Structure 1
């Protein structure tokens, strides 16, 4: 399954008959999760209507180099900075020549010079124009500058000719863009296991011990890790959340079940992030039948025994030990308890948050964290859990790489 979630794609459309495929291309990009903004050249507007592109992209279409509605009236700079990737489809011989020679005489060609983002082109033109020495030299120049060239395909053309010059299909373009982001992501080739949500510990067939964890933070971390190219395992307690794209979800109920799954997956992982709110204790004996209330006593005594400490067990592995990240959800003396857990559990990094603040933490869509590691700390201020997950993973990557460098030295 493809995922471009969180990616900003700037689609530049130039004046070729293949422009009629662009509304469909935008649909596929949006379906994959990308945010899409469209730049239309003057020639392209003869082949596809701006209103159509605005409707499918959900954003206004840009056409003018000097746009009074743009920030400081410099739309080329605004769009160039916004884009994670610039896609030109169809890319005519004209725009290819402009790009190869550094010509910037309209909005799209100026963006190409101004953007630091990856540029991808899907050439589309008459087969003889494509074969022309000038076009081939221009394409070679762009490829030498790290421009990704997709196609063209061969076949019947609108002019009646047969040969190379057909724009590759929208689905193929989106697949190649997805593969580019995966191959160049910071976590490409890295396996991460995340635990999330609460565990439940049965008392009898109708009762259990649990907590208020919604699982939102752990799911946000799993989603962000997948978007960054990681292979992600998500061990989840009982929650009402949708599995993020490209995430392998394992559902469990009890702490013991989560422990068993975590031990297996942790040894196959480079990074283990223990975000679940795991019950510390479970009933020594689970009643086979519903525990009845008695009239002769105001008390009910249930003997609890300690559950296995998942994150400490993973951090204590002698072989195939991953980089271990723990969470400390506290209601008081947050830093003190977090630092104690960091040391006693032998963690590489711990994320502390104050769940006494009802605006963050359990069940909230927002959170704030302070990260601690040996001789260091970093504060991640209040933000959405999805944004916080991305910031957290950036910090984890930095510490993970640093730990590898330290081992080498």
Structure 2
């Protein structure tokens, strides 16, 4: 291969080590350059010589065995890899990685690498289902590590259940897919700013005006943009969602805070997707202490908040600007009107009165209009699928802008 990818295979102790030997052979045959690390437990099942013969490279297992005095082996290997694959990954090795423990060569190298990490667990079914192991895997997934699900069947311990190491060809296919995705990153080198969630406009320390937005659409957009290689800043109002791995996350409360945050980043970004549901009005007076109930009706005077999208439309130069329109009537008309009035490049509209489309749910059905007259109507899709559609159209507009 002219652009030979470099794989660091980390083999930890378990009966499934024999599959790792077959995996090493298949990696080499597929054209990858492979280097292997082993734990002391793994070496009790298969010798380093086996992996050395199959990989055509020395096998590493001792943190302090520095054969080349000009470098530090585990750091050099951490920097060398395009992808790290831990297979098999025992409960112990997963637990150490999730909690930042570095007490052998593999754990030390994994904490030092900035390469993507792929983990293929293999263990007893009850270990795999233990809450501590599940929590450790969930934590690593939040860090951005990828998992290759174990298979179900008869385990070496005699139990039947989930815990068998995925077959070598399954792991190899996951590696192929990873590099295909990495090669298709049209937003690599681009800076993307995304807003998400609602805002809160306080009346007093207890009460505030807000809306039904959960941030699901904006967070899905941020996840998709990261997958496409973008440097993503996510400015979010209050939400119960976890920010996607790999984004710069900025938490705000009010429309004013979102306005200030967005404008402070705007000049340096290539693409802005404003999916947040920002309040149009805020209470004129914010009481410093809790308002007490009385027998009289209450009127609250409201002031208009700053129109973030309109301000961005007025200021934009090289940026592609995407807005959203959540409507209940005349969806297309209002969306196209907003597209022109606010100087947008793309607008995404949906009818929030339709079942499955709008706030709080996991699905959406949208219309997408661009400034050149193109119109797309989606079916009912997951918000992640809608996010992928929006990013695809945004990439097309960015490419057109770059070709002008």
Shorter-chain TM-score bucket reads 0.5 to 0.7
Structure 2 counterparts to residues 325-404 of structure 1, below 5 A: 325-374=322-371, 375-404=373-402
Change (3 A) 1:226 1:168: farther
Q: Distance in 1 between matches of 2:50 and 2:179?
A: 33
Change (3 A) 1:362 1:166: same
TM-score, reference length from structure 2: 0.61
Change (3 A) 1:300 1:167: farther
Change (3 A) 1:161 1:247: closer
Counterpart in 2 of 1:165? 56
CA deviation string 1:363-405 (max 9, x = no partner): 0000011101222211122111112211221111112222333
1:247 CA displacement: 1.1
Q: Distance in 2 between matches of 1:329 and 1:208?
A: 21
1:184 CA displacement: 4.3
Structure 2 counterparts to residues 17-28 of structure 1, below 5 A: none
Change (3 A) 1:182 1:264: farther
Counterpart in 2 of 1:48? 19
Change (3 A) 1:347 1:160: closer
Counterpart in 1 of 2:170? none
Instruction: Give the alignment partner of residue 32 of structure 2, picking from 132, 145, 149.
Output: 149
Gap regions ≥5 residues in structure 1: 1-17, 26-44, 54-87, 93-120, 124-146
Instruction: Give the alignment partner of residue 305 of structure 2, picking from 303, 307, 322.
Output: 307
SS of the residue aligned with 2:253?
coil
- My pick for the range that moved more, 151-160 or 188-197, is 151-160
Query: Do 1:157 and 1:163's aligned partners in 2 also have CA atoms closer than 8 Å?
Result: no
**Greater gyration radius:** 1
* Equivalent residue pairs, number: 278
TM-score, reference length from structure 1: 0.61
Counterpart in 2 of 1:192? 192
Query: Do 1:182 and 1:188's aligned partners in 2 also have CA atoms closer than 8 Å?
Result: no
Q: Distance in 1 between matches of 2:235 and 2:37?
A: 47
SS of the residue aligned with 1:91?
helix
CA deviation string 1:343-366 (max 9, x = no partner): 110000000001112422100000
Change (3 A) 1:269 1:122: farther
Q: Distance in 1 between matches of 2:299 and 2:183?
A: 57
Query: Do 1:154 and 1:162's aligned partners in 2 also have CA atoms closer than 8 Å?
Result: no
Counterpart in 2 of 1:91? 25
Structure 2 counterparts to residues 204-283 of structure 1, below 5 A: 204-283=204-283
Two-structure CA RMSD over aligned residues (Å): 3.5
Q: Distance in 2 between matches of 1:163 and 1:91?
A: 5
1:285 CA displacement: 1.4
Query: Do 1:183 and 1:229's aligned partners in 2 also have CA atoms closer than 8 Å?
Result: no
Change (3 A) 1:159 1:401: closer
CA deviation string 1:307-332 (max 9, x = no partner): 1111111121155x421000000111
SS of the residue aligned with 1:362?
coil
Q: Distance in 1 between matches of 2:59 and 2:379?
A: 44
Counterpart in 2 of 1:80? none
1:248 CA displacement: 1.1
Query: Do 1:181 and 1:229's aligned partners in 2 also have CA atoms closer than 8 Å?
Result: no
